[in-house]
Amino acid sequence: MKIVDLTEKHHKTYFCCLEDWSDEMKEAGDHKQKWFEKMKDEGLRVKLALDEKENVCGMIQYAPIEYSPAAGKDLYFIFCIWVHGYKGKGVGNMQKKGMGKALIQAAEMDVKQIGAKGIAAWGLSQPFWIPSAFYKNFGYELADAMGIQELVWKPFTKDAHPPKWRKPEKKPIKISGKVTITAFISGWCTTYNVGFENFRKAAAEFDDKVESKLSKL
């Protein structure tokens, strides 16, 4: 196993979150690619975990916290970390092999070298999807919480300040005679993108009875 920087060679696999075998992921559109093209000039960094056959088995993506849903200074933010975990599909279940730990350590070393005072990440307080407990195993501490979403961080310097969740700036506008639905799209999360595309298709079937709003995360 080795950790490498993302190159064009692995763009296709990265854009579908390592699930290039999945028909469902094809419904996500090109939102992640567009997000990547924009963010790569804003400090986005992506590292991949490869097995001995050079298969992509894991990924971590992080950027300056100013481009995240959290507020902070001189910090980087991990949008997500993912190690392929589907048995019998793609490269198979590659979890529990130390790839997640190696990816986090590589990201931390990377942002330290470019002068970050710490690194933050998000996770859920419940044991599913991306549990915050995963990061806490590597020394991350709780900085803020919003429902079951926990913001955790690891300072590198004594003068680092903990991040906070950004507060929602807008609320859905009620429209008489219509059902208002807000769809969230992050760009960086292919699962979110699939959900958004499915929402858009479903809303179109109701013509003008539904007022849909797009919110970017």
Give the model confidence (pLDDT) of 70-94 as tens digits: 999 999 999 999 999 999 999 999 9
pLDDT of residue 51 exceeding 90, the answer is yes
Place of tokens 């958004």: 196
Question: What span, in angstroms and rounded, lies between the C-alpha atoms of 81 and 130?
Answer: 8
List b or e across 155-176, with b for residues whose CB sees 16 or more CB atoms inside 10 angstroms.
beeeebebbebeeeeeeeeeee
pLDDT at 66 over 60: yes
- Answer yes or no: is pLDDT of 217 > 70: no
Please name the helix (run of DSSP H) or strand (run of DSSP E) that holds residue 143, with its range, or none: strand 141-146
Residue type, 7: T
Note the pLDDT tens digit of each residue in 132-154.
Answer: 999 999 999 999 999 999 999 99
pLDDT (average), residues 20-46: 93
Nearest partner of 93 among 51, 43, 40, 57, judged by Cα: 57
Mean pLDDT over 23-52 rounds to 94
Q: Any idea where the domains of the chain sit in the sequence?
A: 2-166
Average pLDDT of the chain? 91
Residue 126 in contact with residue 148, Cβ under 8 Å? yes
- Classify the C-alpha dihedral 67-70-74-77 as positive or negative: negative
CATH code for residues 2-166: 3.40.630.30
User: Which tokens in the block code for residue 61?
Assistant: 């993506």
Q: Strand, helix or coil at 82?
A: strand
Whether 58 contacts 46, CB under 8 Å: no
**How large is the average pLDDT for residues 19-23?**
92
For 34, residues 6+ apart whose C-beta sits below 8 A from its C-beta are: 187
